[in-house]
């Protein structure tokens, strides 16, 4: 999720998130942001995000990986998005099949632009911090 533009990139799968899924995500991000020379991704400290194969591919794709400090879930904007998605797409709804559950999540992802004003408020509290982090990361590219 790009919290500044609110552009959303998703891969929906029944598989667990692992280093291979992260490699697919990096490829998808590079495709969606093909006009950007440098991409900075801010990630949590899940072990698969630190895998050598993920780091190597990120470098190859010119995606710089920055990691949040440990034990700072308040800085992890994706956690806010998951909570918001659960509230909007899953809360108090019975899904008779797993396919129905997946469909609800897919529909949310496809129609995420319908929630732009709410997402701006949701992410707004951290944008100054994020912009400062991005500027610092950008300046560090020169060193």
pLDDT tens digits for 48-63? 999 999 999 999 999 9
Cα separation, 7 vs 119, whole angstroms: 11
Instruction: Determine the longest span between alpha carbons in the chain, in angstroms.
Output: 55
74, 76, 90 from 69: Cα distances, Å: 11, 10, 30
Domains of the chain: 19-141 (3.30.420.10)
Give the containing element (helix H, strand E) for 40.
strand 39-43
* pLDDT tens by residue, 48-104: 999 999 999 999 999 999 998 887 777 788 888 888 999 999 998 999 998 999 899
Sequence-distant (6+) residues with CB within 8 A of 105 are 12, 85, 89, 90
Give the DSSP letter of residue 64: E
83: which 2 tokens? 């909570």
* Other residues' Cβ atoms within 10 Å of the Cβ of residue 92: 5
What does pTM read for this prediction? 0.72
Q: Which residue has the higher pLDDT, 142 or 105?
A: 105
């Amino acid at each position: 999720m790009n919290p500044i533009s609110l552009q959303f990139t998703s891969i929906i799968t029944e598989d667990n998130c692992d280093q291979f899924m992260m490699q697919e995500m990096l490829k998808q991000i590079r495709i969606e942001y093909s006009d950007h020379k440098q991409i900075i991704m801010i990630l949590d400290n899940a072990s698969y995000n630190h895998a050598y194969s993920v780091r190597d591919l990120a470098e190859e794709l010119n995606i710089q990986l920055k990691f949040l400090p440990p034990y700072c879930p308040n800085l992890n904007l994706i956690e806010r998005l998951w909570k918001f998605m659960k509230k909007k797409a899953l809360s108090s709804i019975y899904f008779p099949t797993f396919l129905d559950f997946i469909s609800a999540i897919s529909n949310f992802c496809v129609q995420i632009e319908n929630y732009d004003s709410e997402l701006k408020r949701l992410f707004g509290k951290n944008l100054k911090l994020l912009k400062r982090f991005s500027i610092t990361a950008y300046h560090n590219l020169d060193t």
